[in-house]
Amino acid sequence: MSDKILESLIRAEIRRQKETLDLIPSENIVSHNVLAALGSPLTNKYAEGYPGARYYGGNQYVDQIENLCRARALKLFLRQQADYKKWSVNVQPYSGSPANLAVLLALVPTGEKFMGMRLDMGGHLTHGHKVSATGKLWQAIHYGVDEKTELLNYENILRLARKERPKLIIAGFTAYPRQIDFKKFRRIADAVHAYLMVDMSHFAGLVAGGAHPSPFPYADVVTTTTHKTLRGPRGAMIFTNRESRTANRNKVDIAKAVDKAVFPGLQGGPHVNQIAATAVALKEDATQQFKKYVHQIVKNSQALARELQRLGWRVVSGGTDTHLLLLDVAERGIGGKEASDKLEQNGIIANKNTIPYDHRPPMDPSGIRLGTPALTTRGMKEKEMKIVAGFINDVLAKNENVLALVKKLCRKFPIE
Ligand code: DSN
């Protein structure tokens, strides 16, 4: 690279990634093949529109790339040929937030109601938080978790849905450590004639590899980012069920409505290099090796949770069924900000996070969120999770410095 300033910054970031333990559950480490597609001259091309219907010339290869990506996406999540004919997928969203915004734009008239999980109990900004466009343009109704169990209470969600009559219900999370019962969400949506949208961004990889139930038999729309457990480039996809059970209500083909909302509703030219890199990742995600990988992610987060509990830490909801867990650090007298800062000084990267019914402010909440996708990509297993839990305990409970030990462990599990 002739830009020496930038080259040295990129090299420094690569070194940082190699020498630290990444426990942010929404991050991962992509393959060289994904990086190659992302850094290819496909970035030079404008391709506004969809395959076969573009506004610019020169898209003969781009059309094939986008169609290949769509076919791989459908095949990965819908095992039966009949099913993947029923579903449509849009692979153009730049990332998760515009994908979720596009679905709302397509299916819920502005000013009307939709329902999602509260951000401070595990939802996402785009599930209707007041600072997000989704909370400004629509009336967002929020459900949370049960105060005692810290789990979703489907009876309460049903009661709220009956009272508020939302047009769409979002099931999905960024910080809920448990599996979601999609069947129950479907019943709730049916009871009020709402669309059911599942935002599987966090656990899409687990669904693809069979380590988490699939939302596809139940949802009208499924959104996902591509860069988390799916281990692809930053981006997103929107799947729509053409036979959506609620579609007749408005006589609308929801696949067409979503396509129109993505382009020209919200976006211009798609990032073709990103779509190609997604296609590469989706091929990797269909392998036996990936299946083993995602099962190991869950075993690792459960091992991490168990060991932290053994060391006296409170894990929100008592454990995890997924790739992430929430640790209540305030219970041991430490703020979430102080905890994540101290861990970072020791080469352990985690994020501060609210816990359900948090009394502390979001900038210094009661918890930290820990996830195992990136460490599992590096090849770590349950044995290493015990070591990592020990590091966390040494830093937070004993104020010890473990930086040298962290670096040593990182060297044992290098990033390719
Ligand atoms: N920022 C992502 C996460 O960390 O969960 C969600 O968009």
Rounded average pLDDT per 10-residue block, the chain, 416 residues: 97 98 98 98 98 98 98 91 84 98 97 98 97 98 98 98 98 97 97 97 98 96 98 98 69 89 98 98 98 98 98 98 98 98 98 97 96 98 98 98 98 95
Which pLDDT value is given to residue 237?
Answer: 98
Which pLDDT value is given to residue 243?
Answer: 84
Residue 175 CA: nearest ligand 1 atom is 5
Which pLDDT value is given to residue 246?
Answer: 59
Residue 97 CA: nearest ligand 1 atom is 7
Of these residues, 19, 46, 260, 314, which one is catalytic? 46
Neighbours of 156 (CB within 10 A): 13
190: its two tokens? 């049916």
Contact 32, 416 (CB under 8 A): yes
- The answer to whether residue 154 is catalytic is no
382: its two tokens? 């349950």
CATH 3.40.640.10 residue ranges of the chain are 34-285
Contact 67, 233 (CB under 8 A): no
Ligand 1: which of 127, 174, 223, 326 to mutate, judged by most atoms within 8 Å of the beta carbon?
A: 174
- The answer to whether residue 84 is catalytic is no
Per CATH, domain 34-285 is 3.40.640.10: yes
We find that the CATH architecture of domain 296-412 is: Alpha-Beta Complex (3.90)
Give pTM, 2 decimals: 0.97
Residue 351 CA: nearest ligand 1 atom is 4
Of these residues, 20, 126, 134, 225, which one is catalytic? 225
Residues 6 or more apart whose Cβ sits within 8 Å of residue 95: 225, 234, 235, 236
Give the closest residue to 301 by CA, choosing from 244, 350, 365, 249: 350
CATH 3.90.1150.10 residue ranges of the chain are 296-412
Which pLDDT value is given to residue 250?
Answer: 61
Which pLDDT value is given to residue 244?
Answer: 85
Strands (E), 263-366: 314-315, 324-328, 348-349, 351-353
Give the length of the chain. Answer: 416
Q: Alpha carbon of 414 to those of 21, 102, 410: distances in Å?
A: 11, 39, 6
Spacing, Cα 64 to ligand 1 middle (Å): 31
Which pLDDT value is given to residue 79?
Answer: 76
Rounded CA separation 156/145 (Å): 9
From the CB of 26, is ligand 1 less than 6 Å away?
Answer: yes
Rounded CA separation 403/396 (Å): 13
- The answer to whether residue 72 is catalytic is no
From the CB of 96, is ligand 1 less than 6 Å away?
Answer: yes
